[in-house]
Structure 1
């Protein structure tokens, strides 16, 4: 007889619960589960894990979700840009400069990825 695996305790976090609640809200606004899940481009299992608040998505995954919805991560989590600007300003960081730097970095990485894909590897 094979050993029975005990279910592991799930660590819920405020962030994962906020993300789950927000995704559930956006799911309703965007025409239901199947349509919304396809829009996000996530695997079904990944989506359901996150939307139930059980997952621990990487920040990159959260950024991809926000990007596919044409939102910032702040907006995805229910904050507006004013909140983000104020929070960053307290740390001496200019929101617009940060957004611009991130966009430049993303463009450079996409360009590099396109170049890499277009090169044929010798056999």
Structure 2
């Protein structure tokens, strides 16, 4: 996480880009708590990475591991991408409804 923070312009820029709360980020960096899969997906998506890449897996290794379980990597990544787009669209709609008129 700290390396990603550096690569993305420091803590403030990283937090703004990922949408993480400061407390959540520092909890993760210190290894105190476990992030939810939703948090991991959000970080990966905001950094244009797959969850596998974020967690340090080589894509080829992830493909092989998933194939052993009968899961197609490309189909899984497509489904995650669609889900993330839908989540972002829903979040935008929710925010726009909360804005004062």
Query: Normalised by the size of structure 2, how large is the TM-score?
Result: 0.77
The partner residue of 1:78 within 56, 64, 69 is: 56
The correspondence of residues 44-59 of structure 1 with structure 2, limited to 5 A, is 44-59=22-37
Q: Give the TM-score of the pair, scaled to structure 1.
A: 0.65
Larger Rg: 1
Higher helix share: 2
Number of aligned residue pairs: 97
SS state at 1:92 partner: coil
Residue 13 of structure 1: aligned partner: none
Deviation at 1:106, TM superposition (A): 4.2
* Residue of structure 2 aligned with 1:89, choices 67, 71, 79: 67
The alignment's C-alpha RMSD in Å is 2.4
Structure 2: gaps spanning 5 or more residues: none
Query: Cα–Cα, structure 1 residues 52 and 116, in superposed 2: closer, same or farther, change >3 Å?
Result: closer
